[in-house]
């Protein structure tokens, strides 16, 4: 449904996107994850025909963003980071206006607006002026305007930005409810939201795509570089030096007295050596109280990728 090949975008001399390539299949929910300023919004703006690429190609449903932007605009719904709302209009009149703007036949405008208000749970505020709505409702109406012409592709730029925890849960449920009916591309810098709503994650850093895959795939990819935390009974002598001799262990840090009668070994590895480490500790007659990964799942992967800035690779 969406194809991006060697896409680059410059703002003057600044390279906002650098040689990015990816594909998104029909019906997928894909998240662009990256820090603020990583280039996520620029990628979405190119897909939304808002910006032209400086180099490379991007297409939606076979239409090029360079040559057929008008055709693409008929197929997409776009929610920018700030919903494009006219404060003096009511929810209903605004959605009717957007529906007409987006080529909904006049005899179907009312039906589509009703459907979208039901879908986004905004029917109760339909006669309220947009300027009087809370941030959460404004965001919902923003999604409503993106959905009102029943697009094939939905592009959501930071849809949970600025929402409170309750509103985040509501927005998450709303996005999940779109699964299968629309191809959705959304961006966020909040990792937990991306993992909860998306089928696949694209990690962007400094304009480059540094990794892509499902949450499990990305975590699996980093298994060979895991960090282990082993709680053991208080150690006598320098047992940590014994662990360093194990193949695959690149570093060991001993933290004494983390709890009563308990020391902690933080072990850096370049492969999965959990079985060997456990055997070594138990074999030495040291009580193994627990073993966990010290890097916090995908967050660890994300931070590592951002730090190393490694090249794009397929999982």
Q: Which residues bind another protein (CB under 8 A)?
A: 9, 11, 16, 42, 45, 48-52, 69-70, 73-74, 76, 78, 80, 82-86, 88-89, 97-98, 100-103, 145
User: In angstroms, rounded to a whole number, what is the distance separating the alpha carbons of residues 291 and 280?
Assistant: 13
We find the least distance from the C-beta atom of residue 298 to another protein, in angstroms, to be 31
Q: Which residue's CB is nearer to another protein, number 2 or number 273? A: 2
User: In angstroms, rounded to a whole number, what is the distance separating the alpha carbons of residues 240 and 252?
Assistant: 6
Q: Which residue's CB is nearer to another protein, number 11 or number 224? A: 11
We find the least distance from the C-beta atom of residue 81 to another protein, in angstroms, to be 8
Nearest Cα to 230, choosing from 240, 216, 222, 241? 240
We find the least distance from the C-beta atom of residue 103 to another protein, in angstroms, to be 6
Q: Which residue's CB is nearer to another protein, number 126 or number 262? A: 126
Q: Which residue's CB is nearer to another protein, number 90 or number 262? A: 90
State the Cα angle at 293 between 290 and 294, rounded to 5°. Answer: 105
We find the least distance from the C-beta atom of residue 74 to another protein, in angstroms, to be 5
Q: Which residue's CB is nearer to another protein, number 138 or number 200? A: 138
Q: Which residue's CB is nearer to another protein, number 49 or number 203? A: 49
> 44 Cβ partners below 8 Å, 6+ apart?
32, 78, 155, 157, 185, 187
Half-sphere exposure of 270 (CA within 13 A, CB side): 7
Q: Which residue's CB is nearer to another protein, number 100 or number 271? A: 100
State the Cα angle at 225 between 222 and 30, rounded to 5°. Answer: 15
We find the least distance from the C-beta atom of residue 16 to another protein, in angstroms, to be 8
Q: Please state the φ and ψ torsions of residue 151, each to the nearest 5 degrees.
A: -75, 165
User: In angstroms, rounded to a whole number, what is the distance separating the alpha carbons of residues 152 and 172?
Assistant: 20
**HEC profile of 120-178:** CCCHHHCCCEHHHCCHHHHHHHHHHHHHCCCCCEEEEECCCCCCCHHHHHHHHHHHHHC
Sign of CA dihedral 125, 128, 134, 138: positive
We find the least distance from the C-beta atom of residue 138 to another protein, in angstroms, to be 12
We find the least distance from the C-beta atom of residue 230 to another protein, in angstroms, to be 51
Q: How far is CA 228 from the centre of its chain?
A: 26
Q: Please state the φ and ψ torsions of residue 280, each to the nearest 5 degrees.
A: -65, -45
We find the least distance from the C-beta atom of residue 198 to another protein, in angstroms, to be 21
Q: Which residue's CB is nearer to another protein, number 116 or number 286? A: 116
């Amino acid at each position: 449904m969406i194809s991006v090949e060697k896409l680059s975008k410059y703002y003057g001399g600044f390279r906002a996107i650098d040689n990015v390539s990816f594909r998104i299949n029909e019906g997928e929910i894909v998240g662009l994850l990256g820090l603020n300023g990583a280039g996520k919004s620029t990628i979405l703006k190119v897909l939304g025909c808002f910006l032209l690429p400086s180099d490379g190609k991007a297409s939606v449903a076979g239409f090029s963003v360079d040559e057929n932007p008008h055709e693409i605009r008929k197929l997409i719904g776009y929610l920018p980071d700030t919903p494009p709302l006219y404060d003096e209009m009511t929810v209903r009149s605004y959605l009717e206006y957007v529906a007409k703007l987006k080529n909904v036949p006049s005899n179907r405008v009312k039906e589509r607006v009703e459907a979208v208000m039901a879908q986004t749970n905004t029917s109760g505020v339909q006669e309220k002026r947009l300027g009087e709505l809370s941030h959460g409702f404004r965001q919902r109406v923003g999604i409503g305007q993106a959905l009102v012409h029943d697009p094939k592709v939905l592009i959501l730029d930071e849809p949970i930005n600025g929402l409170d925890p309750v509103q985040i849960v509501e927005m998450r449920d709303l996005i999940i409810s779109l699964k299968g009916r629309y191809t959705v591309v959304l961006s966020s810098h909040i990792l937990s939201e991306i993992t909860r709503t998306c089928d696949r994650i694209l990690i962007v850093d400094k304009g480059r795509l540094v990794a892509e895959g499902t949450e499990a795939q990305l975590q699996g990819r980093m298994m060979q570089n895991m960090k282990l935390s082993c709680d053991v009974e208080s150690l006598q002598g320098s047992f940590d030096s014994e662990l360093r001799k194990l193949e695959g262990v690149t570093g060991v840090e001993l933290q004494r007295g983390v709890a009563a009668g308990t020391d902690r070994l933080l072990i850096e590895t370049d492969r999965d050596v959990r079985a060997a480490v456990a055997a070594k500790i138990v074999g030495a007659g040291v009580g193994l109280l627990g073993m966990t990964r010290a890097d916090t799942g995908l967050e660890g992967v994300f931070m590592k990728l951002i730090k190393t800035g490694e090249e794009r690779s397929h999982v």
